[in-house]
Amino acid sequence: MIIHITLLCLGLFILPSVATAQDPSSTYLLQLIERADHKHLHQHRYWHLLLHYRQNFFGGYTSEVDDPGFFQASEGKNDPQAELHATLEKFFSGDLVGRSKQVAQCAFIARFQWLRAQLKFDETRLPLHHCERYEQWVNELNPASITLIFPAAFMNNPVSMFGHSFLRIDQQDQTEHTRILAYTVNYAADVPPGAGLEFAFKGMLGGYQGFFSTIPYYIKVQEYRDIENRDIWEYRLNLSPEEIHRLLMHTWEMGNAYFDYYFFKENCAYHILSLLEVANPQFHLTDQFHFWTIPADTIRLLIQQKDLVQDVSYRPAGSTNLKRKRAALQPSEQFWLEQIIQDPSYAIAPDFLKLSQPRQTFLLDLASDYLRYKGRTDSKQADEYQTKNRSILLQRSQIRVPSPAFSVAPFSLSPEQGHETARMGVGIGWRNDELFEHIDIRAVYHDLLDPNPGYTPDSQVELGALSLRHYHGRNQFRIEQFTLVNVLSLAPIDSWFRSPSWKIRMEMNTVKTRSCDLCSNGHFNVGAGGALETHVFQREVFFLMGEVDANVSGAYDENHRIGGGVSGGVVANVTENWKWLASGGYLGYFLGHRSDDIQVSVGQRWTFAKNFAFRTTFTHHDRDNELLAVFHGYF
């Protein structure tokens, strides 16, 4: 019995290869392969796009896809030609292939349709399969147009500090009020729940698998607008029906694939661009990015494509909505709002009912928005907020007039209007009466003194920044500073919003101490505190933080000093283009080299074009004074 089964299996195994020798379909396959080779289809840009091939160091091609099931040839990841031959062969087969377990013609429908058009398949010799699952899927998506969605940066989740991007498949017959029913095409790493610091490392180094998925837009809106309080920007793309068709066929195909996820380069924004390239191979998008893909940069690139981005719309974050509506209240209305939030029964107080009905609805709606916001952010008292919200909504339902229209303006311009994310500067300065020339270059992204438009207010993310100097007196070239990470988030506190402000910094810098004149120093600093906002000039944010500070340098006894202290300061927009940042702090070091340090720093920046700015800074440390003036260009 066992022998019999084994024989049968062998028989099944052998059968196809025997068949290929005489079968008419195999002669046709050989003809197709010959024709494909003759036309060099395996070198065609479209074949490379469909298989995500990139030129490798050795001049050959390697696919970015890491799922073996995506390739029909065993060496398909590195051999576009073998993959093309094997794909053609699989088109003759009824075997189920790939993660999605369909016949190859349907699992890889974009490849099939492209090769069919290129090689003019004879349907009598290569029977067509009907791809019912694909058709159902497309019918369900019901595509009419494509919109690129960009939820702005979210500082309190490091994964989101550069923003995110995905596509929305707008449906036929949709209106602006039913956009949320559309499906999205989203690329994300599949991260197990509860991954903390581990995520940072694995996410950067390709330790997770990334997949495409079609999450309904209403879930994404809830996630970004309601839960994470991120503004959402929507860019309507001008794609033809054929382009949309190609994009969706390929998206379907990508259900069979995963990529190793790399936070900096092969991330959401990068793979979304790869879909758009398949839609229209005239676009050269992914090859503009070599080491990192910042979502806002990909939007700037799309805007530069002729006639691609049709219009931009804005969906305010829950917190933006609250702030704007609260700012629009009269003082007396603010009083009522606070009362109602404390005790919803004020909503039926005779004096409240004397307000006009539209104002009543505006206040009740805002109170409800606020209580829902609190319910989401303060889980301990969520029940109490919910009960209050119910009472307010009950009262609201009694007032049968529509809420007054209110347009919520963003606090920052749309991301594509911001400066470019890489920066280079040249400058000159004096350090302790010694003249120096200065050059700096930064990989990404934005610091507090960079021009504001397009960036999340009061936030700073700098990665990979290097500055070099030449000191005249001693005729010395130095690596003055290398910043690995420099992140800071200020969150102004008021009666409604109470998020902490925080910062973290890892760098190498140059210090001057009693024992050492200009020594390299490894520096780590982390702090947390609070911030307040005023509007004396245009807008000022004051901050105060407690912090821990560690230094490793030959300049210190025992080669290190570790301590803590406080720092505070103010960042002020004086005019649209002129910004100041002043800060000071005290640090006491009680481990290693016992010492203390008083620091003062004052800087100002003038923006004279979107991508050009000039700044001066004065910094004072213990026995170290420096003045620096730099021109910055963003590219």
- Told to check if 183 binds another protein by CB under 8 A, we report yes
Q: DSSP secondary structure string, 309-353?
A: EEEEEEE--HHHHHHHHHHT--HHHHHHHHHHHH-GGGGG-HHHH
215/516 with CB nearer another protein? 215
Stretch in the footprint of another protein (CB under 8 A) among 303-311, 367-375, 445-453, 612-620? 367-375
CA 610 – CA 305 distance, rounded (Å): 19
Closest among 497, 490, 457, 453 to 327, alpha carbons compared: 497
365/458 with CB nearer another protein? 365
In the beta sheet, which residues pair with residue 124?
none
107/465 with CB nearer another protein? 107
Q: Using an 8 Å Cβ cutoff, are 308 and 300 in contact?
A: no
State the nearest-atom distance from the C-beta of 217 to another protein, in Å.
10
Stretch in the footprint of another protein (CB under 8 A) among 221-229, 281-289, 340-348, 436-444? 221-229
258/455 with CB nearer another protein? 258
Phi and psi at residue 303, to the nearest 5°:
-60, -35
Alpha helices (runs of H) in 417-468, residue ranges in sequence order: none
Stretch in the footprint of another protein (CB under 8 A) among 184-192, 273-281, 431-439, 465-473? 184-192
- Told to check if 100 binds another protein by CB under 8 A, we report yes
- Told to check if 99 binds another protein by CB under 8 A, we report yes
DSSP, collapsed to helix, strand or coil, labels residue 208 as strand
- Told to check if 137 binds another protein by CB under 8 A, we report yes
Q: Which amino acid is at 633?
A: G
CA 534 – CA 551 distance, rounded (Å): 35
Beta strands 166-171; 208-213: pairing state: unpaired
> How many chain residues interact with another protein (CB under 8 A)?
64
151/427 with CB nearer another protein? 151
Q: Cα-atom radius of gyration of the chain, to the nearest Å? A: 30
- Told to check if 219 binds another protein by CB under 8 A, we report yes
- Angle at which helix 318-327 crosses helix 357-377, to 10 degrees, equals 140
Q: Give the x-and-dash track for 470-489 against another protein (CB under 8 A).
A: --------------------
CA 599 – CA 288 distance, rounded (Å): 41
- Told to check if 314 binds another protein by CB under 8 A, we report no
39/390 with CB nearer another protein? 390
Phi and psi at residue 94, to the nearest 5°:
-95, 5
Q: Give the x-and-dash track for 227-266 against another protein (CB under 8 A).
A: xx----------------------xxxxxx----------
CA 393 – CA 266 distance, rounded (Å): 45
- Told to check if 515 binds another protein by CB under 8 A, we report no
State the nearest-atom distance from the C-beta of 152 to another protein, in Å.
15
347/587 with CB nearer another protein? 347
166/292 with CB nearer another protein? 166
- Told to check if 400 binds another protein by CB under 8 A, we report yes
Q: Using an 8 Å Cβ cutoff, are 94 and 262 in contact?
A: no
What is the dihedral angle through the alpha carbons of 202, 203, 209, 210, rounded to the nearest 10 degrees? 180
State the nearest-atom distance from the C-beta of 67 to another protein, in Å.
12
- Told to check if 363 binds another protein by CB under 8 A, we report no
Closest among 563, 531, 409, 385 to 460, alpha carbons compared: 531
State the nearest-atom distance from the C-beta of 433 to another protein, in Å.
54
Q: Which of 361, 456, 501, 567 is close enough to bind another protein by CB under 8 A? A: 361
254/463 with CB nearer another protein? 254
State the nearest-atom distance from the C-beta of 208 to another protein, in Å.
10
Stretch in the footprint of another protein (CB under 8 A) among 59-67, 293-301, 394-402, 513-521? 394-402
- Told to check if 199 binds another protein by CB under 8 A, we report no
CA 274 – CA 254 distance, rounded (Å): 11
- Told to check if 379 binds another protein by CB under 8 A, we report yes
Stretch in the footprint of another protein (CB under 8 A) among 176-184, 279-287, 292-300, 535-543? 176-184
Closest among 341, 395, 346 to 372, alpha carbons compared: 341
137/631 with CB nearer another protein? 137
CA 564 – CA 212 distance, rounded (Å): 45
State the nearest-atom distance from the C-beta of 126 to another protein, in Å.
22
Q: How many CA atoms lie within 13 A of 301 on its CB side?
A: 21
Q: Which of 25, 118, 222, 305 is close enough to bind another protein by CB under 8 A? A: 222
CA 478 – CA 414 distance, rounded (Å): 39
State the nearest-atom distance from the C-beta of 393 to another protein, in Å.
4
Q: Using an 8 Å Cβ cutoff, are 468 and 479 in contact?
A: yes
State the nearest-atom distance from the C-beta of 332 to another protein, in Å.
23
- DSSP letter, residue 159: G
State the nearest-atom distance from the C-beta of 104 to another protein, in Å.
13
State the nearest-atom distance from the C-beta of 297 to another protein, in Å.
23
Q: Which pairs count as long-range contacts for 532-539, CB under 8 Å and 24+ apart, including other chains?
A: 532/492, 532/493, 532/494, 533/492, 533/494, 537/572, 537/573, 537/574, 537/575, 538/572, 538/573, 538/574, 538/575, 538/576, 539/572, 539/573
- Told to check if 188 binds another protein by CB under 8 A, we report yes
State the nearest-atom distance from the C-beta of 179 to another protein, in Å.
7
Closest among 325, 323, 317, 322 to 231, alpha carbons compared: 317
Binding site for another protein (CB under 8 A): 99-102, 107, 133-134, 136-137, 140-141, 175-181, 183, 185-186, 188-191, 193, 210-216, 218-219, 222-223, 226-228, 251-256, 361, 365, 368-369, 372, 379, 382-383, 386, 389-390, 393-394, 396-397, 400, 402-403
